[in-house]
Amino acid sequence: MTDKAYNECVDNFADGVYRFIVKNIRHTEDAQDIVQSAFEKLWLNREQVIPEKAKSYLFTVAYHQMIDHIRKTNKMPLADETAIPHQQIAQQDSELKQVLMRAVNELNPTQKSLVLLKDYEGYSYQEIGEIMNLSESQVKVYLHRARLILKNKLSAYAPTPIHAN
């Protein structure tokens, strides 16, 4: 990977990696640190990383660093402890989205990462499996369980089904 390709990766993927991490750990400073570490690792290994695989590489590194971070802090933040300003969320999201995000935050870390990688980044089961060190069938099963959990929680919050989009 050339320096130019690396800089393109920063432009194209930094937001996505940051969003994935900050949605998971809900702490902006820690998320920024993880993103920085991921890109630093990409820079150090730029000779070995193929540009086409750079995004997957970045998410893989960031995901594992996030898992390490969660293990170190030994707890996931509570749903109401989000570090993202509430005002910002209120402006951006509807009530249903807030309910959905609250439900997502109640998932276990693996399920949460699966949903975020699938919905935000649009990764296939196979790609998600590569990032999270899971088989494709595991991804499929875990993700479907997560969807059903979210559906049940959304049904409890909003009796009448409303499409989030």
Partner 1 sequence: MQINASTYETFFLLYIDNELSANERLEVDAFIAENPSYALLMEELKATVIAQEAIPYAFKAQLKQLPANELMEMEELEETWNQSFKNDIAEDMQAIKGLSNDFKESLKKNKASKGVIIRPFGFNQNKFTYAAVAALMMVFFGYQQLTKSTELNTTIATVANATKPKASTNDIEITATANQPVQSKTQVTKTSEAQIAIAPQKEMIVKESIVLNESTNAQMQLNSTNIVADIQLSSDLNTAATNTSASINTDTEITTEEKAAISYEVIDTEDPNRTIYIANFEIDGNRLRGLKRKVNSLFKNNKSDRNK
Contact footprint for partner 1 (CB under 8 A)? 3-4, 6-7, 10-11, 14-15, 17-19, 22-23, 32, 35-36, 39, 43, 84, 92-93, 96-97, 100-101, 104, 115-116, 118-120, 122, 124-125, 140, 143-144, 147, 150-151, 154-155, 161-165
Q: Considering beta carbons, is residue 47 or 71 the nearer one to partner 1? A: 47
| Measured distance CA(35)–CA(108) in Å, rounded | 22
Q: From the CB of 74, what's the least distance to partner 1, in Å?
A: 25
Task: Write out the two tokens for 111.
Answer: 């399920």
CB atoms within 10 A of CB 20: 25
Task: Write out the two tokens for 42.
Answer: 């990409």
Contact 163, 153 (CB under 8 A): no
Q: How many CA atoms lie within 13 A of 19 on its CB side?
A: 12
Q: Considering beta carbons, is residue 93 or 138 the nearer one to partner 1? A: 93
Q: What is each CA distance from 8 to 17, 39, 56, in whole angstroms?
A: 14, 12, 14
Q: From the CB of 102, what's the least distance to partner 1, in Å?
A: 12
Q: Considering beta carbons, is residue 39 or 56 the nearer one to partner 1? A: 39
Q: Considering beta carbons, is residue 14 or 67 the nearer one to partner 1? A: 14
Q: From the CB of 65, what's the least distance to partner 1, in Å?
A: 15
